Amino acid sequence: MKRLTSGLLLVLALGLLWLGAVDLGSRFQRSPSLILAHNMDTQHPVHQALLRFAERVNQGTRGRIRVAVYPNGQLGNEREVIELLQLGAVALTKVSSLSLETFAPGYAVLNLPFLFRDRDHFFASLDGPVGEEILAQGVSRRFRGLAYYDAGARSFYAQKPILRPQDLKGLKMRVMSSPTAIEMMQRLGGSPTPMAFGELYTGLQQRVIDGAENNLVILVQNRHGEVAKHYSLDEHIMAPDVLIVSETLWQRLSPADRDVFRAAARDSALYQRQLWQDLTRKLAVQAEKMGVIFHHPDKAPFIALARPLQDAFGVTHPELRHLVDAIRREQERP
Chain residues binding ligand GCU by CB under 6 A are 39, 78, 95-96, 151, 176, 197, 214-215, 218, 241
Least distance to ligand GCU, CB of residue 136, Å: 21
Nearer of residues 39 and 180 to ligand GCU, judged by Cβ: 39
Output the smallest distance, CB 308 to ligand GCU, in A.
Answer: 24
Secondary structure letter of residue 33 according to DSSP: P
Q: Shortest gap between Cβ of 36 and ligand GCU (angstroms)?
A: 14
Contact 53, 268 (CB under 8 A): yes
**From the CB of 39, what's the least distance to ligand GCU, in Å?**
5
Residue with Cβ nearer ligand GCU (95 or 327): 95
Nearer of residues 96 and 232 to ligand GCU, judged by Cβ: 96
Give the angle 122-157-78 at the CA atoms, nearest 5°. 60
C-alpha span between 247 and 138 (Å, rounded): 9
The alpha carbon torsion through 25, 136, 244, 211 (nearest 10 deg) reads 180
Q: Element (H or E) spanning 41, and its range?
A: none
Q: Which is nearer to ligand GCU, 79 or 266 (CB)?
A: 79
Closest to ligand GCU by CB, 80 vs 241, is 241
Closer residue to ligand GCU (CB): 95 or 324: 95
Question: DSSP secondary structure string, 64-128?
Answer: SS-EEEE-TTTT--HHHHHHHHHHTSS-EEEEEHHHHTTT-GGGGGGGSTT--SSHHHHHHHHTS
Q: How far is the CB of 261 from ligand GCU (least distance, A)?
A: 21
Q: For residues 74 and 3, is the Cβ–Cβ distance under 8 A?
A: yes
Residue nearest to ligand GCU (CB): 197
- Of 61 and 215, the one with the shorter C-beta distance to ligand GCU is 215
Distances (CA, A) of 254 to 136, 250, 251, 262, 326: 19, 8, 8, 12, 33
What are the phi and psi torsion angles at 169 (to 5°)? -60, 130
Contacts of 321 (CB under 8 A, 6+ apart): 313, 314
Nearer to ligand GCU, 64 or 174 (CB): 174
Q: Return the amino acid letter for 243.
A: L
How far is residue 302's CA from residue 187's CA, in Å, rounded to a whole number?
9
| CA-based nearest residue to 92, from 261, 217, 272, 273 | 261
Nearest distance from C-beta of residue 254 to ligand GCU, angstroms: 30
Shortest separation between residue 270's beta carbon and ligand GCU, angstroms: 17
Count other C-beta atoms under 10 Å from residue 121's C-beta: 18
In the complex, the smallest distance separating the C-beta of residue 24 from ligand GCU, rounded to whole angstroms, is 28
